């Protein structure tokens, strides 16, 4: 079945470093991808999305890269700050039946000062 996975369950970085969070997806027909950030005790918050007609999309301090050839998605956070510490989820759209998002299990980003 469809699945979205993450390479690393926990990523530890120093404040000011760039962070890269990776995600592998299995459905080659998926054409929409999204990253969410979830801080402790809160619901997931939208960070950035990308459609399959793009390879790269930039936001404020964040960049999402999409490699459809190897079905890989990454989230890059520039100049990581302590406030970026959270769990990050990728999701892809289900292309079967009613379109809905399929979520990965999440990567915890820990930023130390």
Per-residue interface string for the shown chain with another protein, residues 14-33, x marking contact by CB under 8 A: ------------------x-
* Residues in CB range of 32: below 8 A, 6 or more apart: 49, 50, 51, 52, 92, 93
Site for another protein in 92-111 (CB under 8 A): 93, 98-101, 103-106
Compute the CA torsion angle 10, 73, 32, 52 (nearest 10 deg): 170
Nearer to another protein, 47 or 77 (CB): 47
For 45, list phi and psi in degrees, rounded to 5. Answer: -120, 140
Size of residue set near another protein by CB under 8 A: 21
Which positions lie near another protein, rule CB under 8 A? Answer: 32, 34, 36, 41-46, 49, 89, 91, 93, 98-101, 103-106
């Amino acid at each position: 079945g469809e699945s979205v996975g993450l390479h690393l369950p926990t990523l530890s970085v120093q404040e000011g470093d760039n962070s890269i969070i990776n995600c592998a997806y299995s459905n080659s027909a998926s054409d929409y991808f999204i990253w969410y950030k979830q801080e402790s005790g809160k619901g997931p918050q939208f960070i950035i999305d990308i459609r399959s007609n793009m390879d790269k999309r930039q936001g404020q301090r964040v960049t999402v890269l999409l490699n459809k050839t190897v079905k890989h998605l990454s989230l890059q956070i520039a100049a990581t700050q302590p406030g970026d510490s959270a769990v990050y989820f990728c999701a892809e759209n289900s292309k079967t039946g009613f379109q809905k998002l399929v979520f990965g299990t999440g990567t915890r980003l820990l930023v130390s000062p």
